[in-house]
Amino acid sequence: MASRRPHRTDLSDERWALIEPTLTAWREARRGLGIKKPTHDLREIVNAIGYVNRTGIAWEYLPHDFPPHKTVYGYFSAWQADGTTERIHDLLRRRTRHASGRKDEPTAAIIDAQTVPTSSNVAESEQGYDAGKRVKGRKRHIATDTPGLLLAVIVIAAHAWVDSGYKTRFAEHAARAGITIEAVAREPGQRGFRVLPRRWAVERTFGWLVLHRRLTRDHEARSGHARSMVHWAMIDVMSRRLTGGNTPIWRDAPTEPGTPPAT
């Protein structure tokens, strides 16, 4: 990694070790196709993606100590298109489940949706209107395991009818696949927020996602990129959990008395 002052979103050595083998293999495969030798460090590319994901800035506003923003976006797009990001995510999910004493693959899932307003760079055809929430934007449909780790995510234009589809079309499709659906509904007459059995786990996952400011509003022109931003947020969550790493709190080394401050 280039010598520079660290950003709070940078990967620790332990977190990078979880991701590095997959990305190194990806780069080696591309070099085998005759692609020229790369000039940018993969760890710095991932750090830059994490910076955008966590802070919510536009790509072109990446700090200058990262690789060029067009290069970073190019890697982000390529990894989304060929499934590399999702493979990293799924690998970390299996490791996280294993670390908590669970089997690699779950036997139960929780499904819910979240309507998110879109920014002005999202095409009109990519947006919809959720009359229930009175929000114009996209809808994130996610499936999680019982601890709240992401199993699947779909991003579509927000249409309110999709929610009721869970009770009919989705349930019928699940039955044909041998999956039993159980609806967890509010109690009759319930007002305000109340924790519901099982549903709390997926709601917590939504909470994890929106800690990453790029996900508080959908800025992605392509729905596939919107899905990838969700995967990167969960990669951040799981890599921290696996390594026990929190957001680093760093300070510059103390200076000798009389030394002028750094500028």
Please name the residue ranges forming H helices in the chain.
Answer: 13-31, 42-55, 69-81, 84-99, 161-165, 169-176, 199-210, 223-243
Mean pLDDT computed over 12-18: 96
Closest CA to 6 of 250, 240, 253, 235: 250
pLDDT tens digits, residue range 228-245? 999 999 999 999 999 997
Q: How far apart are CA 35 and CA 3, in angstroms?
A: 27
pLDDT tens digits, residue range 164-209? 555 666 666 666 766 666 666 666 666 665 555 567 788 899 999 9
Q: What is the pLDDT of residue 39?
A: 80
The model carries a pTM of 0.82
The CA-to-CA distance between both ends of the chain, in Å, stands at 23
Q: What is the pLDDT of residue 161?
A: 47
Mean pLDDT computed over 49-75: 97
